[in-house]
Structure 1
Amino acid sequence: MKNFTMSKMILILFISLTNILFAQKLENEKLVFGKAYTIDELKDANGIIRCASTGYEKYLQAVYPDRMTESQFEAWINPLIENAKQNKSQNGGIITIPVVVHVIHSGQAYGVAPNITDTQVQSQITVMNNDYRKLTGTPGFNSNPVGADVMIQFALAKVDPFGNPTNGIDRVNLCYASWTQAGINSYVKPKTIWDPTKYMNMWSVQFGGSSSNLLGYAQFPSNSGLAGLNTNGGLSSTDGVVANYATFGSTDYNDGTFIMSAPYDKGRTMTHEVGHFLGLRHIWGDASCGTDYCIDTPTAHTANYVCNKSIVSCDNPSVFEMVENYMDYTNDTCMNIFTINQKDRITAVMNNSPRRVELKTSVADIAIPLFANDGEVKLETNCSTANSTCGGTASTTAKISLYNRGTSNMTSAVITFGVGTNIQTYNWAGNLAPNRYALVDLPIPGTTPTGTMTVTVTTVNGVADQRASNNSFNTYFVGSGAVGAGQGTYTFNLQRDYYGTEITWDLKNSAGIVLYSGGPYADTPTTGALPAIDASSWALTPGCYTFTINDSFGDGIYDTGGYYNLKDSQGNIVFQGSRYTTTQTRAINVTVLATGETKSDQFAIYPNPADDVLNITKVSDEAKFEIHNAVGQLVKTGEIKSNQVKVAELVKGTYIITIKDKAISQSIKFIKK
């Protein structure tokens, strides 16, 4: 955190949460989404920030002025709570919420922090079911007369957004070892989120920087009564709950692979954060003797970090504070109750709040038919930083992940791959249990490994792969020397952090002449939203260019959500960044692209899944299409009129639409609802 006026003295606070926080170096305060945590506050909390949901909500209100305030939300939800109490038919039976868990890592092996195991992830779902259902014989049970079975349970998704089988665990290598809350919000969530009307998105991450002491946070629900909320992408693209990987799950179910640290090792961080996701407030109301809008939770003076059940409540000396409530800050073993009024509040949110109400009818937790031999391939992120100069050696390998989505163990697979028309074969051998994966380095043929790469699993265990919808992908492959791109006009976007006076950048040609530059900029108050994105247009002809961005303070722009990227005329990202200290350099080698070398993400479709119509972006009046079903049969063909293709007559399922526009061809998977 930046502090220009306070003393240079730094206090070193050593805490026992070695896997979560290690030995943290604390300055005079920690700033997380505009909320300052003083050293005294951190000492009271054993050096941790238990939850940042309230501060995050204030940040969202500052960034999105149309988002409701707390008082507006309460004015909207309270009549609905009363209506739910009177109309029990609204409550219905048990609600099952499909869950996807995004395990964010930087290339670590399976089971090496923060790439936690499937078993650790699954234990978190078990804990939430114990707690929300108040299950007898589990730590989630209580005999308190106001204790409630919330009638909500959670299940890892069995179908992914493309209609393919999944175990509900999405492992994503984003190259960086740790993340601040601002970086998660601006980059991690939008890049990885699944449709929040069909999945409750959970993220397991390693926090760092100003968020290094944080255990978790959530996004509160919104209502549909205020303008702009339903269409504001800043809300839907970040919806979900986040926790430190070392608090994710419970050691009660440890099979020897868990990476966790007491006293936050029983899964109650996510029980707490999901409570916020479903509309619950902290029981002290985030104020001295504040309100959580639930009558049956005694008014608390402040957050409790110790399981002292003899603390007298604010309003009644004969009633004690409910330190065991999941929405307090006590240790995991202390927590074990949601109340009847908290259940009423959750019920009203699930019946009325956008995205929450859709989760009630999602079927993403219902399994689809599985095959014995089903291989899935995904492109892994290239974390190479070699593209800082126009020289250097280009990479001739591409890293992919091979998943076993079949019911039989996968012991062999044949993978065809290549750039352009030079297709090669790779024979993989190993032993993958269902839903496990292996990383594979494919040697890309040719002296210039830049172009459209196709990867396909053709056989599994000696027989033809049985699912066409997940066994292949196309991508534009660029070696790890200077980034390759075609001549034309580019757009440089800079999302500054609050400290604009520290930021400068320039673009130089091969002769060292500065062609474009920016900064320093004005500083922005840290209590509000980040400054508007600064966009500039670059006209680049063939040659080598070097981009450099500087930060005079030495902490880059990432910590509060800053980033930069360069996009071509089609909107494709050529390079991007945000995490550096004093300087970061990117090189771009602009060439004249040959016919057919246009990037494979030229076009985009929406909505996906679709009901009646697919909208197609960036196509001309000459564009045509073909639609194939999951087994490769051609089911529809024609011209793309008014940027739309009608799909109402198609049966439900997974399809591939191939868009052909002049010399460009691209295939995209979509789901027909």
Structure 2
Amino acid sequence: MRLLSRRMAAAAGAFALAAGVAATGGVVPADAAGPVVEARCADPGARLLPGAGARDPNTIGAAELAAREDELASRLAKLGRPPTEGPVVVETWVHVITPDGTTGDVPDAQIDEQMDVLNTAYAGGTGGAPTPFQFVLVGVTRTQNAGWYGVTPDTAEERDMKAALREGDAGTLNLYTAGIGGGLLGWATFPDRNIGSDDGVVLLNSSLPGGSSTPYDEGDTATHEVGHWLGLYHTFQGGCATRGDQVADTPAESEPQFACADRDSCPRKPGWDPVHNFMDYTPDACMYEFTPGQAQRMADLWAAYRQ
């Protein structure tokens, strides 16, 4: 039912809302933000199942996070923080990995559904802030490789897979579907000045719409991971620290939330935990929003690194 309502919202004209991005509420200024506290739970660029065995495949610690934010501020200052005008069309490739040509295959219709979920979420069609991003599928590849099918982060298999299959440039989204393990639903690379062949998003194939990874089967693992690809951290990044996820209008959150329940884990900070935000860990049916500040941050990082 929730997925159907998203489709209906998109059909009602959600893309018209995405022509611009709010000009305020974006990145927290580095010189006014206070100390950075390292994330206490999982990789800032991944999404995990409850009780997952995998932890911190590409953890960004406090020093690296601060360095990234300082570099971003410098690049934006040189650019003059240009506004993002009109839609940003992101050419998208989907690379389907199977071990035998059948197991884990993703039909074209399911890929189309996933693209619909992405576009509805990023247009604000599920109730959140609109962003300027529109994703256009330009190609699908299908590869039979047993080693790549069980790919895990930061391995030779991941590097070889991406080096062989990646298409386009820094502004091209490459989505890889596979039977990844360790309790990972997916992971992504962040934008930076060294975007190379490892760039992209890896998804558990059963997390796509209609998959078997209930309650993570409506396609919002892709929404979440593409958020990382566009520069967002988790809402719980840094715990209750001042800087947190570097976005001023997402309330602080001490740790990931796996249940769709009201909670205030940082009672000395304003706001309840953002359990409905796409960048938390709640089930897909609970997620429905980006904030204006997150939309602005994604637009800023696109201008700095991907356009």
| SS in structure 2 at match of 1:90 | coil
Alpha-carbon displacement from aligned partner over 1:267-289 (angstroms, at most 9, x marks no partner): 11111111111110111114454
Residue 217 of structure 1 pairs with residue 187 of structure 2: yes
Alpha-carbon displacement from aligned partner over 1:203-247 (angstroms, at most 9, x marks no partner): 001114xxx321100001103xxxxx3xxxxx5111000010001
- Alignment counterpart, residue 265 of structure 1, candidates 217, 222, 226: 217
Check conservation: 1:57, 1:219, Cα contact below 8 A: no
Residue 204 of structure 1 pairs with residue 177 of structure 2: yes
Letter matched to residue 164 of structure 2: K
- Alignment counterpart, residue 152 of structure 2, candidates 158, 180, 196: 180
| SS in structure 1 at match of 2:248 | coil
| SS in structure 1 at match of 2:300 | helix
Check conservation: 1:304, 1:329, Cα contact below 8 A: yes
Task: Give the 3 Å change call, closer, same or farther, for CA 189–49 of structure 1 in structure 2.
Answer: farther
Higher helix share: 2
Shift of residue 81, structure 1, vs aligned partner: 6.0
- Counterpart of 1:48 in structure 2 is 52
Task: Give the 3 Å change call, closer, same or farther, for CA 188–308 of structure 1 in structure 2.
Answer: same
Residue 247 of structure 1 pairs with residue 207 of structure 2: yes
| SS in structure 2 at match of 1:186 | helix
Alpha-carbon displacement from aligned partner over 1:273-311 (angstroms, at most 9, x marks no partner): 111111101111144546001110011111111111243
Shift of residue 191, structure 1, vs aligned partner: 1.8
- Alignment counterpart, residue 122 of structure 1, candidates 112, 116, 122: 112
Residue 308 of structure 1 pairs with residue 298 of structure 2: no
- Alignment counterpart, residue 92 of structure 2, candidates 84, 99, 102: 99
Aligned equivalents of 2:252, 2:78: Cα separation in 1: 24
- Alignment counterpart, residue 319 of structure 1, candidates 237, 247, 271: 271
After superposition, where does 1:657-672 map in structure 2 within 5 Å? Answer: none
Task: Give the 3 Å change call, closer, same or farther, for CA 130–170 of structure 1 in structure 2.
Answer: same
- Alignment counterpart, residue 165 of structure 2, candidates 192, 204, 221: 192
Aligned equivalents of 2:287, 2:53: Cα separation in 1: 17
Aligned equivalents of 2:217, 2:112: Cα separation in 1: 14
Structure 2 length as normaliser, TM-score?
0.75
| SS in structure 2 at match of 1:201 | strand
Aligned equivalents of 2:198, 2:170: Cα separation in 1: 12
- Counterpart of 2:29 in structure 1 is none
CA RMSD in angstroms, aligned pairs only: 3.0
Task: Give the 3 Å change call, closer, same or farther, for CA 37–114 of structure 1 in structure 2.
Answer: farther
- Counterpart of 1:402 in structure 2 is none
Check conservation: 2:239, 2:253, Cα contact below 8 A: no
| SS in structure 2 at match of 1:243 | strand
After superposition, where does 1:18-37 map in structure 2 within 5 Å? Answer: none
| SS in structure 1 at match of 2:58 | helix
Letter matched to residue 180 of structure 1: T
Aligned equivalents of 2:40, 2:152: Cα separation in 1: 14
Shift of residue 347, structure 1, vs aligned partner: 0.8
Letter matched to residue 47 of structure 1: G
Check conservation: 2:96, 2:141, Cα contact below 8 A: yes
Aligned equivalents of 1:94, 1:300: Cα separation in 2: 31
Residue 131 of structure 1 pairs with residue 121 of structure 2: yes
Check conservation: 1:49, 1:215, Cα contact below 8 A: no
- Counterpart of 1:299 in structure 2 is 252
Question: How many residue pairs are counted as aligned between the two chains?
Answer: 260
| SS in structure 2 at match of 1:215 | strand
Aligned equivalents of 1:37, 1:303: Cα separation in 2: 7
Aligned equivalents of 2:235, 2:200: Cα separation in 1: 21
Aligned equivalents of 1:48, 1:124: Cα separation in 2: 24
Aligned equivalents of 1:128, 1:351: Cα separation in 2: 20
Letter matched to residue 115 of structure 2: I
Aligned equivalents of 1:330, 1:322: Cα separation in 2: 10
Check conservation: 2:49, 2:185, Cα contact below 8 A: no
- Counterpart of 1:635 in structure 2 is none
Shift of residue 198, structure 1, vs aligned partner: 5.4
Aligned equivalents of 1:201, 1:174: Cα separation in 2: 18
Task: Give the 3 Å change call, closer, same or farther, for CA 215–286 of structure 1 in structure 2.
Answer: farther
Check conservation: 2:235, 2:244, Cα contact below 8 A: yes
Task: Give the 3 Å change call, closer, same or farther, for CA 307–190 of structure 1 in structure 2.
Answer: same
Shift of residue 76, structure 1, vs aligned partner: 2.4
Give the share of equivalent positions with the same residue, in percent.
Answer: 27
Higher strand share: 1
After superposition, where does 1:60-459 map in structure 2 within 5 Å? Answer: 69-78=64-73, 90-109=83-102, 113-135=103-125, 140=126, 142=127, 147-157=128-138, 168-176=139-147, 177-181=149-153, 182-197=155-170, 199-208=172-181, 212-223=182-193, 229=194, 235-248=195-208, 250-251=209-210, 259-287=211-239, 289=241, 291-316=244-269, 319-353=271-305, 356-357=306-307
Aligned equivalents of 2:40, 2:252: Cα separation in 1: 25
Alpha-carbon displacement from aligned partner over 1:48-101 (angstroms, at most 9, x marks no partner): 369x7x642559xxxxxxxx93212211223666898x86x6311011100000
Task: Give the 3 Å change call, closer, same or farther, for CA 92–37 of structure 1 in structure 2.
Answer: closer
Alpha-carbon displacement from aligned partner over 1:14-35 (angstroms, at most 9, x marks no partner): xxxxxxxxxxxxxxxxxxxxx9
Check conservation: 1:48, 1:215, Cα contact below 8 A: no
Check conservation: 1:312, 1:319, Cα contact below 8 A: no
Aligned equivalents of 1:36, 1:325: Cα separation in 2: 19
Computing the radius of gyration over CA atoms, which structure comes out larger, 1 or 2? 1
Shift of residue 154, structure 1, vs aligned partner: 0.3
- Counterpart of 1:529 in structure 2 is none
Shift of residue 314, structure 1, vs aligned partner: 4.1
